Structure 1
Amino acid sequence: DIDHHRVGRGDVVAAPGFFQSLKMVGARVRALKGLDFPLTNRMQVRVHTGTADALGEVVLLDSEQLAGGQEGLVQFRMAEPLVCAPGDRFVMRLASPVMTLGGGVILEESRYRLKRFKTFVLDELERQAGSLGSARARLESELARAPERWMDLQELTVAVKASRADVTALLDELAAEDLVLSLGPAGRWMHTQTLDLCLAQVGDAMTRWFAENPERRKMDVRDLRSACGLETGLLSALLKTLEGRGELSCETGGMVVPKGREVELDDATRAAREKVLATLIQGQLQPPDRDALEGTLGLASKDLQRVLDLLVDEGEIHHVGGGLFLASEPYGTVREAIVDNCQRNGQLAIPELRDRLGTTRKFLIPLLEHFDTVGVTARRGGTRVLRQG
């Protein structure tokens, strides 16, 4: 039970999780016909919806002012929280002296301050206005306008104020018409128009990166995330989509390879590649580090890094941390020795491994940390064991 002394004007009784107190809402307003003065931007008003009477300001989004009888898109920025939902009607009054200015309909629960005269803001509000009166249209509109580009089922039920069963049925209808789809292991939903835009964003970012790095065959997904600015989970789902379409492949270690990617090397780069690879192969389990390579081979730091990246892309060498790189054959020898050591001893016996490999602590420590990172081994207290699975 709720003590009646705790109930105030404008309070709403609702199912848990569907409504929230809002400080900003988007709306369409019509100024009262015959009004003696126009509505102006940031005018102090009171918004009456349901039994609520909340103080705030009205921001005119598509006009400098509204004369009597004119309509416009606005955002209410409230000094006092308001509980309402898209489709709710309201009356707007001047804050002081109290007089009716007009009325209209709530269009959205705003997450951000909307910018005036921005086409995309006005288009989204118009789309939302067109969806009122139809839960199906509202659902499609919410997905098309999703600020995070996709939404889960709970977020959608709150957005359209409908049950999970009803929202699921509507999503199935929209999916059957190829208007929305479910992405990722968590089953988030996205509008197909948004999917096309996101995939184009990923493609453009990769095109720019490879244009700046013409000798590279692969792109680190971390560089891609930085280049396109997409959240990790969303980017992963988009890459899975592109991989399913055969446009790229995702390799272990977080590398992305566009389909048909070929690299043409100039004579200088080809010669540098051969020298670096031969030096690392000769070094076996105690190769020169990056600084030593730079000094020994007489390559500029930038040129050496380009060649090292190229050889990593080709699988000829492996970056095992810091400035240390191992040729593919000794790298495989180390991996095999670690697995064999763990299987025989139940955990990694480091002195035995060091003796078998004939290397020193300087090289062994970064190697062990590398194989922890790539998932071959795992730390368990003060020991290392093979990672399960």
Structure 2
Amino acid sequence: MIVGTAGHIDHGKTSLVRALTGVDTDRLKEEKARGISIDLGFAYVPTPDGGVLGFVDVPGHERFVHTMVAGASGIDLVLLVVAGDDGVMPQTREHLAIVDLLGIRTGIVALTKSDMVPPERRAEATAEIAAALAGTGLADAPIVPVSSVTGEGIEALRAQLFDAARAFGRREAGDKKFRLAVDRSFTLAGTGTVVTGTVLSGRVTVGDRVTVSPSGLSARVRSIHAQNRPAGEGVAGDRCALNLAGDQISKEAIRRGDMVLDPTLHAPADRIDVTLRLLPGEAKPPTQWMPVRLHHASAEVGARIVLLGDAPPAPGREGRVQLVLETPIAAAAGDRFVLRDVSASRTIGGGRFLDLRGPARKRRTPERVAQLDALALDDPGAALAALLARPPAHVELTGFARDHALADDALARLVETLGIVRIADKDLLIGLAAPTWEALTRDVVARLDAFHADNPDLPGVGLERLRLQIEPRLPAPAFRSVLQGLARAGAAVLDGAWVRRPGHAVRLSEAEELIWQRIAPTLGGAERFKPPRVRDLAGLFAIDEVLVRRVLRLTARTGRVDEVAHDHYFLRGTVAEMVTIARDLADQPSGVFTAAQFRDRLDNGRKVAIQILEFFDRHGVTLRRGDLRRMNKHRLDLFGSLPAGDAQAGEAAGAEPDATAADADQHGRESSPVGRPDFKSGRGREPVSGGFDSHSLPPSIRSAR
């Protein structure tokens, strides 16, 4: 158990700790010279049951309240020290308010200097203390008269501390990942960089890899001292000294306020939604964008208050605000904090972190208020269940576990207990309640059936268009995973850019197929890079131009051809071949090529070559700057297979290959990457369902959210 002192300056905190432990916690030369504590001091005493009681001695001067807050964060029991002659003083009240704001509910009051006051003054001071404690978490704390000079009451106080330690036991470490709030960083000869602090959650063992946050430095734990003893591990509630090794690790690189933590928890926060309780003594409520000093664990940073409610919290009341930080901090949802004014002259209030990823916009919508209501629940399981029942009805489980510092097995238990359906895509893990999942899959199937009924001649609905119609609206990668699951279950088919029901297919009529068989050979062969246009084909075969255009549009939907320019169709295999040619041209040190080089390789006219390149530009295959173009490696597979090297890289990255249309040729990765129902055909002349706008770039489904 960790015991922290609190109280007014010169009330005997350090002397009392020395009487209890035999250790003088004033270690600095200035502290010795001035006779007051300036920085945190630490001492330890063994308990009868073989454990160790750790003491954190804090300064009492009003100038060092920020140091007091750093020491008070993470303690299990507060030892409030009040001198019998002075009684309750200003820093007594401020320290007591800070302890209450930090949620510390276990404490003992030491009435020091009892040998210097008569019995009636003891009684008077005791009454003052009881009045000050009323309404706080320490209202029932015992008051023990002591004297560090005569030894009166020291054994009784020590016995009470040992009893409290036995009753407290140990913090549970299993459900949380490791976090240690750094309060000191120094170098020991022959050892290296050492950091000390209180383990806020989880456990750490020798050899573990850790991250220093918010800086992001990586380190390895070489050795551990827990509760002032060499140890193989440190667990929640221990005072620990960690010997760290790693590139850039030094005492200057790590400072008070940093957090040493499990690498998966490293995600500094700079916009945090919180519950704020204003102290009753405040003259007025906080105002919009009011500057404050935020104290969290051992960190202190500047922040601004953004009001989230219709009215700011009144003095003595609680409300929700957003804290916009000047610099990011490492934190966890549920952590306690304290706010002080920018002049460091008074404590304003404090509370609890709700959401480490507060939004910059739409902070006060009904949906956001409902989410904060859920996040305000103390138990992570209850908070997760409540979030799943509120819009947007899905939770990013990896982020939730990280921000609550949950261990992997703890998250797995929550998922099992709550019956959460998980949707995985690479690093993204989305969770939905089972009823929400069932409604979502039913909705997908129903919308596909309705779309096919209304559009029998279309191969399917665009994936992004379908995603925007379905509630809850999932991130694009997660929605693709849902569709892949439905495809495995036989309820849907992913056909390149389309989603359709099994059994649905666009087919040419017998007459249209005959027309296609006649005109297809003229699109290939030696003249494949400059095929005839629709009007030329109609004249060549004496077929109505409207009918030729319809046949080519239908074959475009099946992935056989692409409309590169208005009424100018190229075989899909030819388009893939032209992508390869452009890639070869760009495969030089400069990585770029010109339209003239491309024209010469195709042995084509400049006008057609430019139209082809503009087609590639629109669909992101090439990236143009002036007269130069380079290839976009992320879009090389849009019209054909990836080169071997890129395909292997995609497999190594765990990429999911897209399904290929049943009637697409061997080069077609998608049945029609540009033929989407939500785009127009040609140059905007007429909207045709299933066509595309030659001046528009289809949105990337990967980047959609």
TM-score normalised by structure 2 residue count: 0.38
Aligned position for 2:522: 286
Structure 2 runs not aligned, ≥5 long? 1-192, 195-249, 524-530, 574-602, 605-611, 613-636, 646-665, 668-705
Aligned equivalents of 1:195, 1:102: Cα separation in 2: 42
2:345 to 94, 98, 105: 98
Aligned position for 2:432: 191
1:137 to 378, 382, 393: 382
Aligned position for 2:460: 218
Aligned position for 2:327: 80
Judging changes above 3 Å, is the alpha-carbon distance between structure 1 residues 20 and 182 closer, same or farther for their aligned structure 2 residues? closer
Deviation, 1:77, is: 0.1
3-state DSSP of counterpart to 1:110:
coil
3-state DSSP of counterpart to 1:286:
helix
Q: Residues 367 and 391 of structure 2 are in contact (CA less than 8 Å); yes or no, is this contact kept in structure 1?
A: no
Matches within 5 A, 1:235-274: 235-244=479-488, 246-251=490-495, 253-258=496-501
Aligned position for 2:143: none
Does 2:410 align with 1:173? no
Judging changes above 3 Å, is the alpha-carbon distance between structure 1 residues 142 and 127 closer, same or farther for their aligned structure 2 residues? closer
2:477 to 227, 230, 233: 233
Deviation, 1:125, is: 1.2
Q: Residues 24 and 77 of structure 1 are in contact (CA less than 8 Å); yes or no, is this contact kept in structure 2?
A: yes
Aligned position for 1:66: 313
Judging changes above 3 Å, is the alpha-carbon distance between structure 1 residues 12 and 218 closer, same or farther for their aligned structure 2 residues? closer
3-state DSSP of counterpart to 1:65:
coil
Deviation, 1:308, is: 3.7
**Aligned residue pair count:** 325
Counterpart residue type for residue 215 of structure 1: D
Matches within 5 A, 1:24-173: 24-96=271-343, 98-110=345-357, 112-130=359-377, 132=378, 134-138=379-383, 140=385, 151=396, 155=399, 157-173=401-417
Does 2:260 align with 1:18? no
Q: Residues 114 and 121 of structure 1 are in contact (CA less than 8 Å); yes or no, is this contact kept in structure 2?
A: no
Q: Residues 333 and 403 of structure 2 are in contact (CA less than 8 Å); yes or no, is this contact kept in structure 1?
A: no
Counterpart residue type for residue 21 of structure 1: P
Deviation, 1:210, is: 6.4
Q: Residues 40 and 66 of structure 1 are in contact (CA less than 8 Å); yes or no, is this contact kept in structure 2?
A: no
3-state DSSP of counterpart to 1:172:
helix
Deviations 1:60-102 (A, max 9, x none): 1112322213322211001133332111111222224733222
Aligned equivalents of 1:305, 1:213: Cα separation in 2: 19
Aligned position for 2:91: none
Counterpart residue type for residue 191 of structure 1: L
TM-score normalised by structure 1 residue count: 0.64
Judging changes above 3 Å, is the alpha-carbon distance between structure 1 residues 239 and 306 closer, same or farther for their aligned structure 2 residues? farther
Counterpart residue type for residue 282 of structure 1: R
Counterpart residue type for residue 535 of structure 2: A
Judging changes above 3 Å, is the alpha-carbon distance between structure 1 residues 96 and 114 closer, same or farther for their aligned structure 2 residues? farther
Judging changes above 3 Å, is the alpha-carbon distance between structure 1 residues 27 and 135 closer, same or farther for their aligned structure 2 residues? same
Aligned equivalents of 1:73, 1:197: Cα separation in 2: 33
3-state DSSP of counterpart to 1:13:
strand
Deviation, 1:41, is: 1.7
Judging changes above 3 Å, is the alpha-carbon distance between structure 1 residues 283 and 136 closer, same or farther for their aligned structure 2 residues? same
Aligned position for 2:90: none
Structure 1 runs not aligned, ≥5 long? 332-360, 381-385
Aligned equivalents of 1:308, 1:231: Cα separation in 2: 34
Deviation, 1:107, is: 0.7
Judging changes above 3 Å, is the alpha-carbon distance between structure 1 residues 372 and 156 closer, same or farther for their aligned structure 2 residues? closer
Aligned position for 1:358: none
Q: Residues 249 and 259 of structure 1 are in contact (CA less than 8 Å); yes or no, is this contact kept in structure 2?
A: yes
Deviations 1:135-176 (A, max 9, x none): 4335556777999966475x45423313223333333333xx
Q: Residues 62 and 116 of structure 1 are in contact (CA less than 8 Å); yes or no, is this contact kept in structure 2?
A: no
Aligned equivalents of 1:379, 1:201: Cα separation in 2: 39
Judging changes above 3 Å, is the alpha-carbon distance between structure 1 residues 289 and 150 closer, same or farther for their aligned structure 2 residues? farther
Q: Residues 36 and 68 of structure 1 are in contact (CA less than 8 Å); yes or no, is this contact kept in structure 2?
A: yes
Q: Residues 534 and 548 of structure 2 are in contact (CA less than 8 Å); yes or no, is this contact kept in structure 1?
A: no
Q: Residues 63 and 72 of structure 1 are in contact (CA less than 8 Å); yes or no, is this contact kept in structure 2?
A: no
